[in-house]
Amino acid sequence: MRTAHLFLLLLLTSTIGVSQTKKQKDIDAIKSMCGCYEVTFNFTETFNYSNDSLYKPSETKVEKALEWAQLVTDEENKIQIQHLLQVGNPAQPMIIKHWRQDWLFENQDLYTYDANNKWTFEKKPSSEVAGQWTQKVFQVDDSPRYEGSATWVHVDGKSYWENTTPAPLARREYTTRSDYNMMLRGNRHEITDYGWLHDQDNHKIIKEKGEQDFLLAKEKGYNTYVKVEDSRCKAAANWWKENKSKWEIVRSQWNEVFNRNKDLELKEKVDNKVLYKHLFNDDVKTVDQIEPIIKSFVK
C-alpha cells in the first residue's frame, strides 16, 4: 500500500513538473518577441470570389520598418508587449506608437469581433481554455482589435501559436476599402532562428445581419521580425520611458470598459476625429483629459 502511494505521489510530482516546464516554454517564447527588429510586412491578395467583373484586388504590399517591442507587464499569467515604430532619419527618428499584444494564461473572458465596430463578450468555460494563452491585440490607441485563445506548441524544435478569429479590417485597408466589413484572421506566431514570424491566412468577409457570410477574397500575410541590436532602437525605448505613464492611464481607462463584461460598440469618430488623433495629442496626458475622450467613443 505504501509503495502504491509513493508511486502515485511520484507520478503526480512528475506531471506537475512537466506542466510547469511547458508553461515556462510558453512564457519564454512570448517574451522572446521583445526587443529591436527589422520588420518586413508582406501582404498579397491570393483569390477573389466577387460577383463583380470589375473587382480590383488590393495591391501587393511590401514595407520595411524598424520596430521596438517593449515588455510592459511581466507576470506569471499576463505578459504585455507594446510595439513602437522607429522611422525616418536614424539620427533624429520619429517614433510612432504601434499595436499592442497582451498574452493571458487560461483566460476565460474574450471580446470577439462581430462587424461594424462591434465586439461580443464571451465567457469561455475553464475546461475550454486549460493550458491555453489568449492573445489580445489592440489598436494604436489601445482600443480593442481582435483576440483568440490557443495552445503554444513546442515540437520538433519549433515553437508556435496559431489561432483563427474575426477582426476589423486591417489598418492598411480600412481607409481605402468599404466592400467588406470583417476579416477572419488566421494568425501563426512562430519563433525562428532569426527572431520570429507572423504568418497569416486571412479571409475578407461581407457580414450582414440575417444573411450568410460571403467570402469576398483571401489574403496571405508573411511578416518577418529579424532581431538586431537593441541599441538601434534606443530612441524608441527612450520615447517609451518618457510616455509610458500616459499610456498606463489609457490602458486603465480601457480596462474599466472591458471589465463591464458586456457587448461593446465604439463610435468611428467624435468631433470628426478618430480616437487615436484625440489621444496622440501631446497635450492630452492626465486622467481628467483621457477618461472623457475614451468614454465619448463607447456607445
Tell me which residue of 158, 184, 156 sits closest to 169, measured CA to CA.
Answer: 184
Mean pLDDT of the region 239-267: 98
Instruction: Measure CA 79 to chain center.
Output: 12
Yes or no: say if 243 and 280 are a contact pair by the CB < 8 Å rule: no
Domains defined along the chain, listed by start: 25-232 (2.40.128)
Query: 3-state SS string over 27-46?
Result: HHHHHCCCEEEEEEEEEEEE
Distance separating alpha carbons of residues 273 and 251, to the nearest angstrom: 20
Bigger pLDDT: 132 vs 16 = 132
Whole-number Å distance between alpha carbons of 51 and 116: 22
Q: Which residues contact 95 (CB under 8 A, 6 or more apart)?
A: 84, 85, 86, 235, 236, 239
| Cell numbers that stand for 132 in this block | 491555453
Residue 284: phi and psi, rounded to 5, are -95, 110
Phi, psi of 89 (to 5 degrees): -60, 120
Q: Which residues contact 72 (CB under 8 A, 6 or more apart)?
A: 80, 81, 82, 100, 244
Q: What are phi and psi of 91, to 5 degrees?
A: -75, -35
* DSSP state, residue 110: E
pLDDT band at 5 (very low <50, low <70, confident <90, very high): low
In the sheet that holds 264-265, the strands lie side by side as 109-113, 118-123, 264-265
Q: CB-side exposure of 262: number of CA atoms within 13 Å?
A: 5
Q: How far apart are CA 45 and CA 64, in angstroms?
A: 19
Residue pointed to by grid coordinates 486622467 = 287
CA-closest candidate to residue 147, choices 180, 190, 100, 181? 100
Backbone angles phi, psi at 14, to 5 degrees: -65, -45
8 Å CB contact between 228 and 36: yes
- C-alpha cell belonging to residue 6: 509513493
- Give the confidence band of 171 by pLDDT, cuts at 50, 70, 90: confident
> What is the reported pLDDT for 3?
52
Burial of 257 (0-12, 13-18, 19+ CB in 10 A): middle
Residue range 142-157: mean pLDDT, rounded? 97
Q: What pLDDT sits at residue 81?
A: 98
Global confidence as pTM: 0.92
- Tell which wins on pLDDT, 12 or 143: 143
Summarize the confidence of residues 288-292 as an average pLDDT.
98
**For range 128-149, the mean pLDDT:** 98
C-alpha 290/C-alpha 55 separation (Å) is: 42
Helix ranges (H only) for the chain are 2-31, 234-258, 275-279, 287-297
Helix (H), strand (E) at residue 148: strand 144-150
SS3 readout for 62-102: EEEEEEEEEEEEECCCEEEEEEEEEECCCCCCEEEEEEEEE
pLDDT average, residue stretch 21-26: 96
Query: Predicted confidence band at 4 (pLDDT cuts at 50, 70, 90)?
Result: low
**Quick one: pLDDT band at residue 14, thresholds 50, 70, 90?**
very low
